[in-house]
Amino acid sequence: MTLPWHPRTARATLWFPTTALLVALVALFAADLLLGSVRIPFAQVWAALSGSGSIEPKYRILVLDSRLPRALTAVLAGSALATCGLLMQTFFRNPVAGPYILGISSGASLGVALLLLGQGSTSLFLGWALGAAPAVVVAASAGAGLTMGLMLLLASRVRDSATLLVFGLMMGSFTGALVSLLQYQADAASLREFVYWTFGSLDHTHWEELALLAPLLGLCLGLGWLFSSRFDLLALGDDYARSMGLSVSWTRGLAMVLTALMAGAVTAYCGPISFIGVAVPHAIRALSGRTSHAVLWPLSALGGSVLLLGCDLISRMPGMESTLPINAVTALVGAPAVAAIVWRMRRISSFFQSGG
């Protein structure tokens, strides 16, 4: 008889979700290349990717310069947002915490709003010197970086996670108010451009942007998995973690830096993308039945990639001439999941209080 906690049972339990997520990832990635407003035959996609066989020039450009970078961006952004959500739920011991709870998205939005809606010499110089798209990335990165710096300064002085959570929410509200004031006084053309950015998009990352985004997110994902045992102890409470010899302040700082870097980079290049970070970690916990971050981290990365690829495919349904805003699609998919999480709040809260 095999006991429930027997290593064979554990491996078998993990085999199913891992295989299911990998199969879904490959299938959705292929579908993302094949389907869209223009359907591309599989043979043409394969010829473009492999560099062998005859291929029509229009299909080569569509696959290599548009759909492949977009699909890779979805994989990277989904992985980053899902693991950020896992980190923040561990950090705050809050089941509805997400990657933007520290005000990173609001800070990035303020930076973009100052660029697109402001009429100052700095915004005009950035737009002229860098071009429209790079200037937006720089402005969003600067706003997210400033917010991260302020939150890290607060974290060095505040030991209570609940107080830090309140500061993060207030930071988001304050920067949101500034953005609203900028929107109120902006002209119609600038306001439309800013609102379009807030919809989120995976179209703005081409090979040049991916050359910067992929190493940064890859490094952060690798570091998060490397220090996963520290996050396991952090989830059990600060006092217990200290009794086990963990440097709680260092681990909390690491979690904040990783979250800020990944969420800030995704927001800078893709705009704000909601619900991925909140919904995916809970789905992975339910699917795997595990609480160890060494397991949850890679599975959450896979789950985030799968969900964002699926949402991207929905946003470009075959036959549609236009693309739906990716942030709207993730909200439509993620909102029911978050509602279910809130509905089961007591059970999830008891899960965190018991330390899993």
pLDDT 10s digits, 264-300:
888 888 888 888 888 888 888 877 877 888 889 999 9
* Residues 262, 153: Cα–Cα separation, whole Å: 19
Predicted confidence at residue 344, as pLDDT, reads 59
Task: For 292-336, write each residue's pLDDT tens digit.
Answer: 888 899 999 999 999 999 998 888 876 666 778 888 888 887 777
The torsion defined by the Cα of 71, 77, 78 and 79, in degrees rounded to 10, comes to 110
- Output 221 or 104, whichever has higher pLDDT: 221
Predicted confidence at residue 116, as pLDDT, reads 78
CA angle at 176 for the pair 175 and 178, rounded to the nearest 5°: 65
Min mean pLDDT across 5-14, 28-37, 107-116, 153-162 is at 5-14
Predicted confidence at residue 350, as pLDDT, reads 53
Predicted confidence at residue 8, as pLDDT, reads 46
Greatest mean pLDDT range, 35-44, 186-195, 216-225, 275-284: 216-225
- At residue 9 the predicted structure's pLDDT band, cuts being 50, 70 and 90, is very low
Is residue 30 assigned to a domain? yes
Is residue 225 assigned to a domain? yes
Looking at the predicted structure, is the pLDDT value of residue 229 above 70? yes
For residue 247, the number of C-alpha atoms closer than 13 Å in the C-beta half-sphere is 8
Predicted confidence at residue 25, as pLDDT, reads 94
Predicted confidence at residue 354, as pLDDT, reads 54
Is residue 51 assigned to a domain? yes
Residue 85's CB is within 10 A of a number of other CB atoms, namely: 28
Min mean pLDDT across 4-13, 90-99, 286-295, 315-324 is at 4-13
- At residue 217 the predicted structure's pLDDT band, cuts being 50, 70 and 90, is very high
Looking at the predicted structure, is the pLDDT value of residue 131 above 70? no
The residues, any chain, with a CB within 8 Å of residue 320's CB and separated by 6 or more, are 37
Q: Which of 324, 298, 323, 329 is nearest to 311 (CA)?
A: 329
φ/ψ of residue 325, rounded to 5: -60, 130
φ/ψ of residue 190, rounded to 5: -65, -40
- Six-digit token string for 295: 């397991």
Contact indicator for 77, 202 with CB cutoff of 8 Å: yes
Looking at the predicted structure, is the pLDDT value of residue 17 above 60? yes
* Residues 12, 10: Cα–Cα separation, whole Å: 5
Is residue 146 assigned to a domain? yes
- Six-digit token string for 96: 């509805």
Task: Count Cβ atoms within 10 A of the Cβ of residue 59 and give its class: 0-12 exposed, 13-18 middle, 19 or more buried.
Answer: middle
Here the CATH number for the domain that contains residue 348 is 1.10.3470.10
* Residues 47, 38: Cα–Cα separation, whole Å: 17
Task: For 25-57, write each residue's pLDDT tens digit.
Answer: 999 999 888 887 777 888 888 888 877 767 777
φ/ψ of residue 137, rounded to 5: -65, -45
- Six-digit token string for 236: 């059990």
- At residue 128 the predicted structure's pLDDT band, cuts being 50, 70 and 90, is very low
In the chain the first and final C-alpha atoms are separated, in Å, by 26
Which amino acid is present at 126? L
Nearest-10 crossing angle of helices 132-157, 248-270:
160
The count of residues in the chain is 356
Is residue 289 assigned to a domain? yes
Torsion-angle region of residue 93: left (phi > 0), alpha (psi -120 to 50) or beta?
left
Is residue 202 assigned to a domain? yes
φ/ψ of residue 327, rounded to 5: -65, -35
The mean per-residue pLDDT over the stretch 126-138 comes to 55
Total number of domains in the chain: 1
Is residue 4 assigned to a domain? no
Looking at the predicted structure, is the pLDDT value of residue 2 above 80? no
Which structural domain, as residue segments, surrounds residue 182? 15-353
- At residue 123 the predicted structure's pLDDT band, cuts being 50, 70 and 90, is very low
Is residue 3 assigned to a domain? no
- At residue 80 the predicted structure's pLDDT band, cuts being 50, 70 and 90, is very high
For residue 250, the number of C-alpha atoms closer than 13 Å in the C-beta half-sphere is 8
Looking at the predicted structure, is the pLDDT value of residue 199 above 70? yes
- At residue 66 the predicted structure's pLDDT band, cuts being 50, 70 and 90, is confident
Min mean pLDDT across 2-16, 40-54, 216-230, 304-318 is at 2-16
Q: Whole-number mean pLDDT of the chain?
A: 79
The mean per-residue pLDDT over the stretch 129-149 comes to 70
* Residues 15, 115: Cα–Cα separation, whole Å: 48
